[in-house]
Amino acid sequence: RNNILNKYLYFCLFIAACPKPEPPTHGRRLGRVFGVGHEVHFLCKPGYELIGPRTRVCLDSLKWSGQQPMCKRQSNIELTYCNTPSSSSSSPSPLSSSSPTSSTLSSSVRPSHCTHFLGSTRCTCDVGFTISGRDNNICTDIDECLLFPLGQPGRLCVHQCVNTPGSFHCFCPSGYDLSRDGRSCSDVDECETRMHNCTGDQMCVNTYGGFQCVTVECPLLKNATYIKTSPMRCERNPCMLGDKACTQAPSSISFHYLSMVSNMSAPRVLFRVSAARVLGDTLRFGLAGGRGRGHFSVQRSGRQTGTLLLVTPIKGPATLEAEVEMSELERNNLLGRYLTKVTLFISPYVF
């Protein structure tokens, strides 16, 4: 019975893997696991360039993605190999000795470190290089950026990866600094560090990857006038007795600015509006207007609180506005309207 079970398990494992992929002629394959979802990578020997995919994935159909790559000979590449013992050389010393010979290799191809000891030769490469060539005496740079591309699980850099001989380097877009881990990007607060060009009557708003200079101005309405009572708030001047058009205009208008990364998941709470005190018997919350209303919704989240929600992701760069209105009523008679204008600055980046 155990034998039958073992055969059954072996059969299940066998059908869950893709066939072993062959390395291209004049190249090599990296990766020894051929199960569904696993990847193999291909490299060419010095003097050859890879034609076809560098990476293939074992699909659910138990077939490899893409086509079988091949290595094509390059021209105008000169290689000098490190010396290996020949039959005419003297007997090697019992002590270990080795050093790579001088060469005309490029920075991505270099001689291996060959050690000759008691008639045998062992060649190794520095970190970030893979051994290749005749007699394993050439080290070829591994392009980590190609093995772990952006947007894939396990990516090396959050933004841009540049391969270097034996390693790689991450770069960030303007407005970001490379984090201490050498891979992530941290936003630079231009407003905090005074690296902006906003004028004295403007307010600096830091955004992901930049900044915005905004000017808060009270609206000019036909039937009502406003005065700025704080840098971010305008209050309506008293209305004439019986001026219904004036009394129906917003009693106050507040301005708020938010910064977001691109494609932020939704639904998400963006902002809350609350009444400090209630004179009437009813409070109502809703969207009064703004650009991009289809992305927002307002819900009541408490007796005196309304919440602005992001209901769909927004791809940046973009600037959207939402106007949240809070109305106070007494026996269905309007006592006051309070408007909050929320401006969202969406970054072109997801970090």
Would you place residue 106 in the very low, low, confident or very high pLDDT band (cuts 50, 70, 90)?
A: low
Contact 63, 157 (CB under 8 A): no
What pLDDT score does 7 carry? 41
Per domain, the residue ranges of the chain are 2-73, 78-171, 216-346
User: 312-343 burial by CB neighbour count: b if 16+ within 10 A, else e?
Assistant: eebebebebebbbbbbbeeeeeebbbbbbbbb
Q: Return d(Cα 246, Cα 101) in angstroms, integer.
A: 90
H or E stretch covering 247: helix 244-247
What pLDDT score does 260 carry? 95
CATH fold, domain 2-73, is: Complement Module; domain 1 (2.10.70)
- pLDDT tens digits for 13-53? 344 788 998 898 988 888 777 888 777 888 888 778 787 77
H or E stretch covering 164: strand 160-164
Contact 64, 18 (CB under 8 A): yes
Would you place residue 152 in the very low, low, confident or very high pLDDT band (cuts 50, 70, 90)?
A: low
Region 158-171 average pLDDT: 90
What is the CATH code of the structural domain delimited by 216-346?
Answer: 2.60.40.60
H or E stretch covering 99: none
Instruction: Take residue 252 and report the two structure tokens written for it.
Output: 């106050």
| pLDDT at residue 74 tops 80 | no
The residue ranking higher by pLDDT, 227 or 331, is 227
Region 311-323 average pLDDT: 94
